[in-house]
Structure 1
Amino acid sequence: MTTWHVILVASILVAALKVLGHLVPSGPLEGPRPGRILELLTVSLLAALVAVQTLADGTALVVDARLPAVGVAIVLYRLRVPFLVVVVAAAAIAALLRRLAGWA
């Protein structure tokens, strides 16, 4: 099976899953508890993605310039700084640490 076959099969499965999502009755999902679970699921998946992208390199844990950059972004976000400023500041911190401290 080539890479294109895998991409084609995955695309078909994603399209089928999307169609199945439209066929699910909305009644059971409209309650307060399922709505809260779905909100928390989105946040937890995003947090896991950020943690993996920040601390992982393949199968190894890595502490490099990304970790302080994410820390700066968290602090600035909690201070309600505009998102674009948060992103630029975090990128600048990572770049400075990589340049000055020699972190990869």
Structure 2
Amino acid sequence: MTVWAVGALALGTYLIRLSGLLLRGRLTVPDRTRRLLDLAATVLIAALVATAALTQGDGFSGWARPAGVALGALAAWRRLPLVVVVLVAAGGTAALRLAGVP
């Protein structure tokens, strides 16, 4: 049963992506809608980051993880390479946990 479900989801994803290519020239999206779609993607990513940074299981993840994410965000804002951003975030979290911050 699981194999069929994964196959159906994969096929659906492929067809949705293919429809974007096939309908590109036939469908026009107003500029306001296009801006809102861009903002919606940004808001979705921010919500996922906040959820992953602030929660663990059913409760708060502690202060070390959000502080590490904030350090990573600062590194990204400074336009450092992605590898450096990840290392700064992970290293900051690890250092805080080593110092006893939950």
Deviations 1:28-76 (A, max 9, x none): 4543223222222221111111111111122323333111001111222
Structure 1 unaligned spans of 5+? none
Paired residues in the alignment total 99
Give, in whole Å, the separation in 2 of the partners of 1:68 and 1:83.
18
User: Which 4+ runs in 1 deviate beyond 4 A?
Assistant: none
RMSD, aligned α-carbons: 2.4
TM-score (norm 2): 0.74
TM-score (norm 1): 0.73
Identity among equivalent positions (%) equals 26
Give, in whole Å, the separation in 2 of the partners of 1:33 and 1:67.
34
Aligned to 2:98: 99
Aligned to 1:22: 18
Structure 2 unaligned spans of 5+? none
